[in-house]
Amino acid sequence: MRRTINMTSRRMWIPLALLIILGFAILELQLLKVKSNGIYSSKTVVRDFAKTSEEEKHTFMDDSSTVVLYNRVPKTGSTTFTNFVYDSCKRNGIYVLHINTTKNSHIMSVQDQYKLIQNITDWREYRPVFFHGHMAYLDFKRFGSPVTPIYINIIRDPLDRLVSYYYFLRYGDDYRKGLKRARQGDDTTFDECVKKGRRNSDCSVEKLWLQIPFFCGQSADCWDVGNEWALQEAKRNLANNYLLVGLTENMEDFVVVLEAVLPRMFRGMTNNFREGSQSHIRNTLHKVPPNEETLNKFHSSKIWKMEMELYNFAKNHFEFIKKQSTVLSKNVLKPAPKRFRYEKIYGPEGMISN
């Protein structure tokens, strides 16, 4: 009799145990579903990112299809910056491609725009990839491209940029010392050139008009010197279509923020910039600062005021982003820690996590 009761009890416990196992299995499947849908919490559903292994962190942050496009403005420190990106190729497993336009033209024919955008869109074996070249902003959406690259750039005080470019054409720099420059042998100073007042000379006020069209784009009005629409379009593009625009005068902070935002592409660049010997690898060999008379002439011009408006807009925008993205620790700028989390996660089955 006792054996019969024991057998009956066992038969009752077996289905119950199976139900318990099935319940745990269903719960586990629900948790996996939550994780696969990208819901992250600081609670039990998802492990906190700070507690994951280095390999898991890399996988979490990794995007092997990332496309970054740097349409670099001449004489803004772009050579220095891109050399650091080239140095990151092996370390970060990225590709870097230079877009070399004929005669260094900053604007492109419509067919060339289409072909370039098509190449960037379809060239999937070279990713993650960093493209760079001296060309005005390209609107990928205009051509129906499914890929929109992450735009970055660096901007410089407009008159400082022009003065640097003026002497660069005559004396070159310490990057390629033996290369013959376009105005080599002309020892006219920038002040002397301005005093002559020749329109469209290397020192004319009109030559300031460069950073606005670079951010404005390939439209005719962008290159119409003094066009108010071009300035407003440049500001719209800078704020809405660029991930980050730094300042030549403060490139280190630009690198810190960039590494914080895109660690997959720029990991380790901050340390290289701070500790390396190439943080300023391209300096004009001979340069004379403009005198007070020259400064007054430029500062009274409409074009200078417009270019400065874009520069100050970019500066304020960058400082705002930097404040949100970094922290100052022992006088050293560092990426800010993660400041968000998911909680109160509910689904069709009710509460998943607090």
pLDDT value for 47: 38
The amino acid at 137: Y
Clarify whether 317 is annotated catalytic: no
Q: Contact 132/78 with Cβ under 8 angstroms? A: yes
pLDDT value for 354: 73
pLDDT value for 172: 83
Clarify whether 286 is annotated catalytic: no
Give domain limits for the chain: 1-40, 63-335
Q: Identify the active-site residue in 58, 98, 106, 132.
A: 132
Q: Contact 259/267 with Cβ under 8 angstroms? A: yes
pLDDT value for 56: 42
pLDDT value for 219: 97
The tokens describing 322, both together, are 């930097």
Q: What is the pTM of this model?
A: 0.79
Distance CA 340, CA 354 (A): 15
Over the chain (354 residues), the average pLDDT of each successive run of 10 is: 50 60 59 45 38 44 80 96 95 96 94 96 92 97 93 98 94 68 83 91 96 98 98 98 97 96 93 75 77 97 98 98 93 90 90 82
Q: Contact 77/154 with Cβ under 8 angstroms? A: yes
Measured CA distances, 5 to 13, 14, 19 (Å):
12, 14, 22
Question: SS3 for 276?
Answer: coil
pLDDT value for 269: 94
Q: Output the CA angle 196-201-207, nearest 5 degrees.
A: 120
Q: Contact 99/116 with Cβ under 8 angstroms? A: yes
Distance CA 340, CA 145 (A): 32
pLDDT value for 58: 44
Distance CA 138, CA 150 (A): 12
Distance CA 290, CA 299 (A): 12
Q: Identify the active-site residue in 58, 98, 106, 134.
A: 134
Beta-strand ranges (E) seen in 242-331 are: 242-247, 326-329
pLDDT value for 295: 98
**63-335 homologous superfamily:** P-loop containing nucleotide triphosphate hydrolases (3.40.50.300)
